[in-house]
Chain A
Amino acid sequence: MPVDSFKFLPRSLAAFYMASDLQPQLPIPWTPLERPLAECKFGLLTSGGLYVRGLEPPFDLEREQREPTWGDPSFRRLPIGIRQEDVGVSHLHINPGDILLDFNILLPIQRFQELVSEGRISGLAQNAYSFMGFQGFPADTQAWQERYGPQVAGELKAEGVNCVLLVPA
């Protein structure tokens, strides 16, 4: 059975998505995986609005409250040694409760540390990364594409990462 993309979406929002006439911009980029997983170093990325309290500020929700059609395009770094209680969530479009109980549901740092210790993958980047998924209405992803995305890619590649798991909220 194919996954129903709208199972958990309120009807009015589902209607809005379905009305879009977006088509993929071709070609879709492709970087082939050229080695076995056991030799791959991973980076983790979510759009759940996660940040580490006391390390970096939350996403700018005050501006979004003032300008509801704007969303903060920047990102936050989450060192993989963080404790659950260090993690904050700033995102006005989801209930953060379960992420505050277990960040692995969006940023599976502990699951990937298990994979490393089992030898299934070779390593995990020192920082995981979070964006905040709401990029305005209509969505404007230019800053992601031209500035912040390439910046995260550069940091990951500098650490020798070759694979990235992206987990939207």
Chain B
Amino acid sequence: MPVLARTLEQAGLSTLLVSNMPFWAERVGTPRTLAVEFPFGHTLGAPGDADRQRRVIEQALEVLESATAPGSSVHSAETWPFPQAEAMKDWQPETPSPVIQTMAPRLREVLRQQRRPQDGT
């Protein structure tokens, strides 16, 4: 989605991305970003929680109004109101996605490589 922010901005629209993965937005290079520490699929808040949704949107509008240069990124202080373990479980699909099922062995290998102690050479 950061790519689409760039595409729309290039087309002459002022864009603002609200993202729970600012790491990725910054790597791709988005014009304006508000970062939120919310679970996937819940970028503006919890269902029925109009107050929190509105607060995040107001923060996003402030970023849009105040940003003066491309690559502007502001991190919201909003926190997710439910326990992390619950949130972690709730956002994920009941069945792992096809690519995760296909890639699982390779992902496990990446993790193993990272855990392996560096040999210093």
Contacts and interface: CB of A to CB of B under 8 A. Distances in A.
A168 B7 CA distance: 15
B42 A105 contact: yes
Contacts of B42: 98, 105
A15 interface: yes
B41 A15 contact: no
Contact of A168 (B19, B27, B37): B19
A105 B67 CA distance: 24
B121 interface: no
Nearest to A2: B75
Interface in B76-121: 76-77, 84, 87-88, 90-95, 97-104, 107-108, 110-111, 114
A133 B1 contact: yes
Given A98-B46, A102-B47, A137-B103, A168 B1 contact: yes
A165 B48 CA distance: 20
A84 to B, nearest CB: 10
B9 A29 contact: yes
Given A92-B97, A164-B14, A169-B43, A17 B23 contact: yes
B70 A29 contact: yes
A92 B98 contact: yes
Given A31-B13, A105-B44, A167-B18, A23 B27 contact: yes
Category for how many chain B residues contact A: 35 or more
A154 interface: yes
Contacts of B48: 101-102
A162 B43 CA distance: 22
B61 to A, nearest CB: 6
B110 A30 contact: no
Interface in B36-63: 36-48, 50, 53-54, 57, 60-61
Interface in B2-29: 2-24, 26-29
A95 B92 contact: yes
Contacts of A27: 70
Nearest to A169: B41
Nearest to A96: B41
Contacts of B37: 3-4, 7
B107 A8 contact: no
Given A5-B24, A7-B37, A31-B13, A37 B64 contact: yes
